[in-house]
Amino acid sequence: MTERPLMIHDWIKAILHIDADGFFASVEQAVNPLLKGKPVIVGAERGMATAVSYEAKAKGIKRGMLIHEIKKLCPDAVFINSDYEKYSLFSVRMFEILRRFSPQVEEYSIDEAFVDLTGLRRVYHCSYDEIGMRIKETIKKELGITVSVGISLTKVLAKVASKHKKPDGLTVIPGRQIHLYLQDLPIEKIWGIGHNTAAYCEKLGIKTALQFATKSESFIKKHFSKPFYEIWHELNGRSIYPVNPEPKKEYRSISKAKTFTPTKEKEEVYAHLVENLENACFKARRYGLCTKKIIIFIKTQDFRDRACEIRLNSETAYPEDIFPFMKRAFETIYEKGETYRQTGVVLVELTSMKMRQGSLFENQVKLDKIEKLYNTLDELKIRFGRDILVHGAVLNKKEKVKRQQRMKIPFINLKI
């Protein structure tokens, strides 16, 4: 006889988990219908697949694969540069749709969310299955993308359900059926249980989620720490993790790219990259955001990309803090003799300036000066346009002269 988790009641709570299918690639297909049905690879600017469409997955392509490997495997693959602002916009719209159905929405990531549906059957005069289907259909109709939905008594079980049928799936796990979905599910497939914990479980004779869920409370407390004790409760249908509707501390990514007259001049290529950084940081400051992770890329005349990721010790939205690191990163990706046509900067994992965690080694006096300086510059840019003041590194000697003649204003060399 099959063992069962302790919880057998169907709907003490109802938690929905929504997971967008191949989100970045699906957004690109929604925006450009000509890409539908084609193997789409997102991440061309980084030289690797950061997201792939289900058509690409069907051909064996996975996230993280290098572009040249993908071309050998799938010659007809379509490669696209990442557009994080576009994906963020779709994400915001998806979360807005979810909030039409319930005020309790947790933005778990850019393409995932939890929704508390408890008690809403009476409001909508239908089952939780039907509510889930309405949400799916609304997203498909308004955004042109598909999502997989799971509904169960807890967040962990809802995650199990949403992964059960992908893409475009809807799976509902009521209390009495929990054991049916856990009995063949490998323990490492459970949200919150990683490779090392799965290996430890195997030493204890636990290979499936059901074997873990049906262990006694005393056994779990003896062999596992608190987080896994909580997962054990969740697998048994007892909700431990509430849906948190508080706004996330992470916000959208900001990307700025510039295509220019092809050139071999190193100084000019770097100048365009600096201008991208200035514009990206200006937008971040306007929204009260900062970052400690930046991606820069340069594109050759024959559309080959080279990219580099920069990680800072602390968050910032001031180019002055980033320039030294970006200069070194640029040196690693620039190839002498190549002709370049585009540069780009992406600020990722943005967080609120108010939540910024400073470093012990920061010079607070210098930080205050930088902040005061950029506050003044931002006011001028907002009032007169962002080209009213630019960093000296943006322009080479010829461009400086042209800009002075055109704008009839002096260039300011600012030192901090």
305 appears as a binding residue in the annotation:
no
What span, in angstroms and rounded, lies between the C-alpha atoms of 381 and 397?
23
Catalytic status, residue 112: yes
CB 151 within 8 Å of CB 181: no
CB 307 within 8 Å of CB 295: yes
Q: Which long-range contacts (CB under 8 A, 24 or more apart) does 48-55 make?
A: 50/24, 50/82, 51/22, 51/23, 51/24, 51/25, 51/82, 52/22, 52/25, 53/22, 53/25, 53/26, 53/29, 54/21, 54/22, 54/167
Burial 292-317 (b: 16+ CB within 10 A, else e): bebbbbbbeeeeebbbbebeeeebbb
**What 8-state DSSP symbol labels residue 106?**
E
19 appears as a binding residue in the annotation:
yes
What span, in angstroms and rounded, lies between the C-alpha atoms of 145 and 23?
8
* Given 28, 106, 112, 234, the catalytic residue: 112
Q: Can you say which residues are annotated as belonging to the binding site?
A: 19, 111
* Residues that constitute the known binding site for Mg(2+): 19, 111
**Which are the catalytic amino acids?**
112
